[in-house]
Amino acid sequence: MDNLFFNEEHFMLIDMVRDFAKTEIAPIAQDMDNNGKIPKEIISQMADLGLMGIPVPEKYGGAGMDTVAYAAAVMELAKVDASVAITMAAHTSLGSMPIAIAGTEEQKQKYLPNLASGKIIGAFGLTEPGAGSDAGSTKTTAELDGDEYVVNGGKIFITNSSLAGILTLTTNIIENGENKGIGALIVETDNPGLKIGPKEKKMGWRASDTRQLFFENMRVPKENVLGQPTDGFKTFLKTLIGGRISVSALSCGTAEGAFQKALQYSTERNAFGKEINKFQAVGFKLADMATDIEAAKLLTFHAAWMKDQGKDVLKQAAQAKLFASEAAMRITTEAIQILGGYGYVKEYDVERFFRDAKVLEIGEGTSEVQRMIISKELVKTFNKAT
């Protein structure tokens, strides 16, 4: 499969990220999970390796690589630690890409080089207490007052909240008392109107930073509107398509990480006088897990490759995300089963992979939302053809 999507540059990137993940992340993955924190040095090292701006155009300080490269890097990180992978992925596909997709030339020049170099971290604020899957129900308002918008409201579950220097958020744009629709604003996080809540205590992705944000008369200059004032929601939906490829890659990595542990264990553990992989019940599990991973990777890299060809990948990204995230849940569950009691304790890491897998079926559109997107696209294509 690899030769189908990867060129020499991709293979070099993959080797570099694999080596970094093995030497720098793997030894501290359990500690990060226990402490709920990623050491700053890990993020600086990723920045030094050029991992914080893989798909950002070179003109704006990024590596100018394609979505296939970006997905491959996310996957390699997730094979070892999903919290590190989501920190990089949320920064890139959610924090930086809305500006790359819809920013004005001035906004791109002002923000992208610092984001791509990892000098500042990006975050993306869409979800609110009453607006998750139904993201269009956002209640946050930005009321124009002279040359500034005055923003009130808040966001929940925002990844990279306290690490971020830049936050892009959706809000209702109010001008002259009239609601013009949902737009997006770029906010510099030293804004005194921004309050950041305590870190959420999560089941998985424990070292990743997830918090609630509050906007209290937060004044944002008018020039920080992302693109056209009322195009923000469209931009975010477009951003989420790329984000789903990220989550697919994360899912493949998480699944592969757990699978490799289970495969290795099955060669080391003996019962009834033989390696446990010799029992068909275990061997067939391994076969199904490997087949699921291969299918998930094919869907992920196919969606990434199509996006790189400039195609509309709404359906493909949703299918990849749906399949890969549900496969990750199946595979991490079976990995625990293969390790028996040792799978349930922390020593062998598979319980961490299992806890990290669940959110993949929720973030950036739940499995139900992906099925809605896919079925709508199927009917649309059918109606067009008939």
Ligand X SMILES: Cc1cc2nc3c(=O)[nH]c(=O)nc-3n(C[C@H](O)[C@H](O)[C@H](O)COP(=O)(O)OP(=O)(O)OC[C@H]3O[C@@H](n4cnc5c(N)ncnc54)[C@H](O)[C@@H]3O)c2cc1C
Residues that bind ligand X (CB under 6 A): 90, 94, 124-127, 132-133, 157-159, 202, 205, 210, 359, 362-366, 368-369, 372
Q: Select which of 106, 256, 364, 368 is catalytic.
A: 364
DSSP 227: S
Whether 364 is catalytic:
yes
Say how far apart CA 165 and CA 171 lie, in whole Å. Answer: 19
Q: How far is the CB of 90 from ligand X (least distance, A)?
A: 5
Cβ nearer to ligand X, comparing 187 with 338: 187
Query: In the Cβ-directed half-sphere of 196, how many Cα atoms lie within 13 Å?
Result: 21
> Which of 18/358 has CB closer to ligand X?
358
Beta-bridged to residue 141, according to DSSP, are 152, 172
Q: Measured between alpha carbons, how far is 16 from 69 in angstroms, rounded to an integer?
A: 12
Question: Which residue of the chain is nearest ligand X when measured via CB?
Answer: 132
Both tokens assigned to 337: 């089963």
Give me the least distance between CB of 20 and ligand X, in Å please: 24
Nearer to ligand X by C-beta: 131 or 150? 131
Residue 285 and residue 48 in contact, taking contact as beta carbons nearer than 8 Å: no
Instruction: Please report how close the Cβ of residue 340 comes to ligand X at its closest, in angstroms.
Output: 29
Distances (CA, A) of 171 to 120, 146, 201: 23, 18, 26
* Nearest approach, Cβ of residue 124 and ligand X (Å): 5
> Could you count the other beta carbons within 10 Å of the beta carbon of residue 4?
9
The pair of three-digit structure tokens given for residue 319, joined into one six-digit string: 């299918």
* CA–CA gap between residue 4 and residue 353 (Å, rounded): 28
DSSP code per residue over 83-141 = HHHHHHHIIIIIIIHHHHHH--HHHHHHHHHHHHTTSSEEEEE--BTTBSSSGGG---E
Beta bridge partners of 142: 151, 173
Q: How far is the CB of 382 from ligand X (least distance, A)?
A: 21
CB of 94 to ligand X, least distance (A): 6
CA nearest neighbour of 213 among 269, 170, 274, 265 = 170
Pick the closer one to ligand X by CB: 27 or 136.
136
18 versus 202: smaller Cβ distance to ligand X: 202
Residue placing its CB nearer to ligand X in the complex, 286 or 369? 369
Q: Which residues are catalytic?
A: 364
